[in-house]
Structure 1
Amino acid sequence: MSRPNAQSMKPATAAKKLDVYLPATPADFQQNPITREELAALQAEPPQWLQDLRKNGPHPKNLVAAKLGVSIAGLARGGITEALTTEQITALLEEKPDWLVAERESYQNVLREERRLKALRADQSRDD
């Protein structure tokens, strides 16, 4: 097996850059290194399989968490360990299970605290 050169990347890296769930991509994509040029072409003119994955999923955990408004750790605490489709995400948002409501509130509190600390640090750096 030849080693990919510096201008190519593993399929997992390319999938992350494309915000898609690697196991849901075509076998050819999963099994071959992706060049930077190929990645740029996929981003500029996504083929149908990529458009479908982005629209319907399954989506990687980072996107599932973002769409649900929770952290990745919050997904795990809620028992979500697999990639979800857009339909499954929509169903969760409509059902509003207790764990999701609690995790969304917790996540918003964390974000508020991060913004407060960032503003505090900015104020302190201006005063110095």
Structure 2
Amino acid sequence: MTSHQSTQTMKPATAAKKLGVYLEATPAEFQEGVVSRTELHALQTDPPQWLQDLRANGPHPRPVVANKLGVSISGLARGGVTEPLTTEQIDALKDENPEWLQKERAVQAEVRKETVRIKEKNAEKNAE
């Protein structure tokens, strides 16, 4: 008896998330089809022009916007940023450096410090 191995596929939304792009900005054929793991790997290793342009200019999904601004996704929401932003809009926000962005960056820095502290504490505990 031979085993039949089916090709694993994913929805376009999942593939867009893995690629770090905003689904609604992708080409129609990408949005309407399914993406196999092989196709996803090909997109990651040799991205077509549309993917390179999206990654460079946006619009970017919230996780990418948050990362580029150095804040959490929740911090974006508290700052009133709920829509995808282009690279140009992100750069403008960085230049403007509004009070909410300064505050959220400080919060994120504290979260990172606390994460490091907990990690070190757990490492010490495990070393004993």
Both structures adopt the same fold (TM-score exceeding 0.5): yes
Report what 2:39 is aligned to. 38
Q: Distance in 2 between matches of 1:118 and 1:45?
A: 36
Aligned mates of 2:110, 2:59 — CA distance in 1 = 28
Amino acid across the alignment from 2:46: E
Q: TM-score, normalised by structure 2?
A: 0.93
User: Any gaps of 5 or more consecutive residues in structure 1?
Assistant: none
Q: How many residues align?
A: 123
2:82 is the alignment partner of 1:95: no
Query: For residue 14 of structure 2, what is the aligned residue in structure 1?
Result: 13
Deviation at residue 6 of structure 1 after TM alignment: 5.4
2:72 matched to 1:77?
no
Aligned residue runs from structure 1 range 44-55, under 5 A: 44-55=45-56
TM-score (norm 1): 0.93
1:82 maps to amino acid: E
Q: Aligned partners of 2:27 and 2:118: how far apart in 1?
A: 44
RMSD over equivalenced CA pairs, Å = 1.0
Matched-pair identity in %: 61
- Structure 1 residue runs of 4+, over 2 Å off? none
Provide, for residues 62-108 of structure 1, a one-character-per-residue CA deviation record: whole Å limited to 9, x for no partner.
11001000000000000000110000000000100000000000110
- For 2:71, what is the secondary structure of its paired residue? coil
